[in-house]
Structure 1
């Protein structure tokens, strides 16, 4: 059970760990795709092994809190398994390195950002649908399976939560999105800078909040309620309003991604940088408004 507290954004004891259903759905999809498309079996097996490692660490933490460094070690192992498969398949150390970094990064970003009803699952669904729209073949199928699993989970988590994703779900969502993003890059489905756009809502909030806490000298690896979505809720906004606001931002980012597909590399890069700059400015405005209301994060 996830109990309410000063480092939580809910007021009622709620069971957690419901994200294991998403993990099971993805594993079933991977098995079906591997049987149908055996040429992609090794990549799918590596993805499934990494997913099970991340989910297993999260499942254990949901039931008996473990050291964040132990969890990070498991995340690194899962990322290494998938990165090794990428290196074997494409013989590209830069792509393999990106797979390792992105997998660890998104596992923890989705874990950080899973704090209010529907937020993590809706963002994962939108990002995976955006990736499926620009891909084809096996990994488009994985992306669609992820979106379907998230949409199947949402009625139990939004607008009112009767169960939470838990670490087993949030970390697995991040790992799956990292893998699909890397495969979109590997297959050259779309220029890689554009793939950063659908992820921007979470990357901006999680990244800037982390930098802020590090600058303050805080124990940045511990639980907190300083992300902008949490500050917004503590200021009186409902979970539904905040989740829809993040959805709107991501839908706009997907539209921008699709609109920039035919642009020149320079214009494309400028567009991505301008989008992230705008997001950082909105993040700052939200925190400034909270400070003026005396709602500085603890």
Structure 2
């Protein structure tokens, strides 16, 4: 009996130490992000790095940009720290190198506008690094190809969808949460650092933005989420792999359908615009807050659906059917939010 009591005490002590470590990790990530965001705002105001109001923008007063640098620093520091404990250091190192490239070109673009094709070229190299790291860890060509596609897609989607207060940051936070819970290795700690870092930035950006993420932040969030989702897919059975399409569904539906419509219309889809459903809805309501909250509500519902489907003994066809129905419902909401549609903008040919 004394031996059993000793084992119980040791186990409780280990759990307590683990809880303290997790709490310290989250608090440090949040504190560093919040502190650097505050400093970034002061720097942006001093350097006049401001986004001015305009026809294609949702804000009405000049607002500093580049606040996402705090999130970038947290992710890099957390990733470097975890290099010593991950199973495949090459996978994590390749991802971190790609993330730094995406953040770096975004940071430069926040200071002086760059060609979209130059940014795209850097993103291609970064996505290739992520794909190479995925290949090294899994030796799965399909998954490596998927890593490249997903990195390119989410890097740009998070940039496209960062158009009203709080929406890109809150979505990144929510999409990261199931990864924190379901990942079973050191990558879950990195996902936790991402969630805490976005939470540290959010008060500066919502409900009223005092600073924007900037390209340095929005692109980095998309790339980081792509890396986390791909890593989660690596060991997931096919039935559960499809479930990872649910958390980012709000952004995938809005960005995908809006981009598709612009392509069909023959518009320059790579140029800034204000034709997303969330932008049309915010204009009608005259407020960003309910739109950001509604998108958050959809994502929370997506995570609940993910958990429900994952806890049931269902085959791949059933799971994919539920997910297809969810995306069809999202497409219907997208159409209703667009109302009569956004007038086609006559774009410059200069």
Residues 226, 297 of structure 1: 8 Å contact kept: no
Q: Which of the residues 83, 96, 109 maps onto 1:48?
A: 96
The structure number with the bigger radius of gyration is 2
1:79-103 C-alpha deviation (Å, 9 max, x unpaired): 0011011111211110000000000
Matches within 5 A, 1:164-203: 164-188=212-236, 191-203=240-252
Distance 1:238 1:151 in 2: 21
Return the alpha-carbon distance in structure 2 between the equivalents of residues 297 and 157 of structure 1.
30
CA–CA distance in structure 2, aligned partners of residues 64 and 17 of structure 1: 12
Q: Does 1:296 align with 2:343?
A: yes
Q: Give 1:111's aligned residue.
A: 159
* 1:15 paired to 2:64: yes
Bigger drift between 206-215 and 190-199 goes to: 190-199
| Residue 247 (structure 1) aligned with residue 296 (structure 2) | yes
Alignment check: 8 A CA contact 1:231 1:297 kept: no
| 1:279 and 2:330 aligned | yes
> RCO greater where, 1 or 2, for CA within 8 Å and sep 6 or more?
1
Aligned-pair distance for 1:237? 3.8
Select which of 95, 100, 110 maps to 1:62: 110
Q: CA RMSD in A?
A: 1.3
Match of 2:198 in 1: 150
Q: Kindly indicate whether the alpha-carbon contact (under 8 Å) linking 2:86 and 2:185 is maintained by their aligned counterparts in 1.
A: no
> In the alignment, which of 122, 146, 153 is matched to residue 98 of structure 1?
146
* Cα distance in 2 between the residues matched to 1:114 and 1:297: 21
> What corresponds to 2:131 in structure 1?
83
Task: Please report the TM-score for the alignment, with normalisation by the length of structure 1.
Answer: 0.95
Per the TM alignment, residue 48 of structure 1 is displaced from its structure 2 partner at its CA by 0.9
Once residues 218 and 80 of structure 1 are traced to their aligned partners in structure 2, the CA distance between those partners, rounded to angstroms, is: 28
Structure 2 distance, partners of 1:11, 1:237, is 11
For 1:265-288, what per-residue CA distance to the aligned partner results, in whole angstroms no more than 9, with x for missing partners? 111010000000000000011112
CA distance in 1, matches of 2:198, 2:86: 26
Are 2:304 and 1:259 equivalent residues in the alignment?
Answer: no
Which residue, out of 162, 172, 192, partners 1:124?
A: 172
Equivalent in the alignment of 1:133? 181
Tell me if structure 2 keeps the 8 A contact 1:201–1:249: yes
- Of stretches 188-197 and 210-219 in structure 1, the one that deviates more from structure 2 is 188-197
Aligned to 2:283: 234
